[in-house]
């Protein structure tokens, strides 16, 4: 991303007074989270998902390109007395993963080249929660550039090396006034190590 991109996101987040609501893919599947362990949210924005993960007892890191968003997240953490580590980073540039994670969450963000690195960044048995906009979206929320929108079933291909736990893509079937029409939702699990490879 460029400095101009950073400024755009800083301006977008500048007036925010609350973190907003956590993503459907995480909020409706909390029962899949481990009892403990470390979690990472990539492109966290104001950190609604990170805050929810911290409330669930996980050790959370939150990464974003916007310094303003991260500063606001730290303030939300202070108010709730939660601990979330923040890191300003451009994940579209090469970087070294500091560790591997039991949980990685990505919502409302798509950089396809990052997906193999997300898989590598998972501990065996770890989960990816992913939700972002697709090309059949009904509303004008999210990007309009097709490069940043998922094709039908694309998350299944991008994370083909993971075991499928959950997938939802309502598309244009049935009552368009209901359902999750704008996004594709995916949860995948990294295969456990076999006893021979442990």
Domain hosting residue 143, numbered range: 3-197
| CA-closest candidate to residue 65, choices 32, 29, 92 | 92
**Burial track 52-86 (b if 16+ CB lie within 10 A, e otherwise):** bbbebebbbbbbbbbebbbebbeebbeeeebebeb
Q: What is the pLDDT of residues 117-169, one digit of tens each?
A: 999 999 999 999 999 988 876 666 767 787 888 898 999 999 999 999 999 98
What CATH number is associated with residue 95? Answer: 3.40.50.150
Share of the chain above pLDDT 70, in %: 86
Structural domain count, the chain: 1
Query: Which token pair is 142?
Result: 């999210």
> What is the distance between the alpha carbons of residues 69 and 85, in angstroms, rounded to a whole number?
13
Question: Per-residue pLDDT for 45 more than 80?
Answer: yes
The torsion angles phi and psi of 25, rounded to 5 degrees, stand at -60, -30
pTM (2 d.p.) = 0.90
In sequence order, the β-bridge partners of residue 59 are 38
Query: Which token pair is 187?
Result: 């949860």
CA distances from 43 to 66, 109, 170 (A): 9, 7, 24
Question: Which residue intervals of the chain are DSSP H helices?
Answer: 3-14, 24-27, 48-55, 67-80, 115-120, 154-158
Q: What is the pLDDT of residues 60-119, one digit of tens each?
A: 999 999 999 999 999 999 999 999 999 999 999 999 899 999 999 999 999 999 999 999
Residue 165 is predicted with a pLDDT of 98
Q: To which H or E segment does residue 184 belong?
A: strand 183-189
């Amino acid at each position: 991303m460029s400095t101009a991109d950073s400024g755009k996101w800083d301006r977008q987040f500048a007036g925010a007074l609350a973190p907003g609501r956590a993503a459907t893919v995480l909020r409706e599947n909390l029962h899949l989270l481990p009892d403990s362990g470390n979690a990472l949210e990539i492109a966290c924005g104001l950190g609604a998902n990170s805050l929810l993960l911290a409330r669930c007892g996980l050790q959370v890191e939150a990464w974003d390109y916007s310094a303003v968003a991260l500063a606001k997240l730290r303030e939300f953490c202070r108010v709730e007395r939660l601990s979330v580590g923040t890191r300003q980073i451009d994940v579209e540039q090469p970087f070294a993963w500091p560790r591997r994670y039991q949980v990685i969450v990505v919502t409302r963000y798509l950089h396809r080249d990052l997906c193999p690195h997300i898989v590598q960044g998972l501990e065996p048995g770890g989960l990816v929660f992913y939700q972002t906009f697709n090309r059949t979206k009904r509303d004008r929320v999210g990007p309009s550039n097709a490069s940043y929108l998922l094709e039908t079933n694309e998350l299944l291909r991008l994370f083909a090396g993971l075991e499928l736990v959950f997938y939802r893509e309502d598309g244009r079937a049935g009552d368009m006034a209901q359902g999750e029409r704008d996004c594709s939702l995916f949860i995948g699990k990294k295969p456990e190590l076999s006893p021979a490879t442990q």
